């Protein structure tokens, strides 16, 4: 067998990873966890629902942990136990999120508090715990963000604002902890086929309204995001403090307006 025909070495072989937000069956966190495991990493999957986490950990030969990202004590314990079990944490990825669709003026204080807890305070705790754990050994921190932190979309202000805010905190971590060998980056999907978007994607005309704004001609998949996450987590990556736009070129154009979405949905309804 020639050198060029040798099987490729798994890109994350020997690394340990912690992924928060992997408790939803088929969600982006689960897809990324499976890809990391296939690339040779030992993966600890975490979230708020025990059974799907345990099932996933069994499937990928990893471990599971209950963790509510909005509780700092939970996040600190997650990283402390992962480091104690494996001696280090090489990769930390946060895939939690809440796709609240609500008019700006109708967004309630309770909804805003819940959004900030899940998409700003919680990720802040995650970044703190990951950086503290990796200070002696270095590692890769990855935050799943959103293209809507850059381009507009109607009725997503709380979601968009909190994603944009934590993107900037990621840059702060990259700036302050690069000397410790820590790389911190975020990934911005666009409209992606996940369980969170399944109901919207199933509406006739919805996907068509978005696809025309994607230069590569399709909306994204969790596999697209997992592939990018593998690169950011690997030793090949010489990036930090960056937001990787993995969305088929959406940010070269824009999301459809609400009026355009409504028109596409109406056009897809059979006329009597």
Catalytic residues: 159
**Judging by beta carbons within 10 Å of its beta carbon (0-12, 13-18, 19+), is residue 242 exposed, middle or buried?**
middle
Distance CA 206, CA 100 (A): 17
Distance CA 79, CA 266 (A): 48
**Judging by beta carbons within 10 Å of its beta carbon (0-12, 13-18, 19+), is residue 115 exposed, middle or buried?**
buried
Distance CA 107, CA 156 (A): 10
Supply angle C-alpha 68, 71, 64, rounded to 5: 35
Q: Is the CB of residue 143 less than 8 Å from the CB of residue 171?
A: no
Structure tokens of 244?
Answer: 């990787």
Cβ neighbours of residue 196 under 8 Å, at least 6 residues apart? 24, 27, 97, 99
Helices 122-134 and 72-86, interaxial angle, to 10°? Answer: 30
Structure tokens of 41?
Answer: 């990493």
- Tokens 């934590």 — which residue? 166
């Amino acid at each position: 067998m020639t050198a060029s025909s040798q099987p490729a070495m798994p890109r994350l072989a020997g690394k340990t990873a912690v992924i928060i937000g992997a408790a939803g069956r088929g969600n982006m966190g689960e897809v990324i966890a499976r890809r990391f495991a296939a690339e040779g990493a030992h993966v600890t999957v975490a979230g708020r629902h025990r059974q799907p986490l345990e099932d996933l950990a069994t499937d990928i030969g990893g471990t599971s942990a209950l963790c509510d990202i909005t509780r700092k004590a939970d996040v600190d314990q997650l990283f402390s136990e992962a480091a104690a079990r494996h001696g280090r944490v090489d990769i930390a990825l946060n895939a939690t999120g809440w796709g609240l669709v609500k008019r700006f003026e109708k967004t309630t204080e309770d909804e805003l508090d819940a959004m900030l807890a899940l998409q700003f305070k919680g990720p802040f705790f995650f970044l703190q715990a990951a950086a503290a754990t990796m200070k002696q050994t270095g590692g890769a921190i990855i935050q799943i963000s959103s293209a809507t932190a850059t381009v507009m979309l109607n009725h997503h202000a709380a979601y968009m604002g909190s994603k944009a805010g934590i993107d900037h905190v990621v840059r702060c971590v990259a700036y302050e902890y690069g000397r410790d060998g820590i790389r911190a980056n975020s990934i911005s999907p666009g409209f992606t086929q996940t369980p969170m978007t399944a109901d919207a994607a199933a509406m006739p005309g919805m996907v068509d309204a978005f696809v025309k704004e994607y230069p590569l001609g399709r909306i994204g998949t969790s596999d697209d995001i997992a592939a990018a996450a593998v690169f950011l987590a690997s030793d090949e990556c010489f990036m930090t403090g960056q937001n990787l736009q993995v969305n088929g070129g959406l940010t070269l154009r824009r999301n459809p307006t609400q009026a355009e979405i409504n028109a596409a949905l109406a056009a897809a309804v059979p006329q009597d």
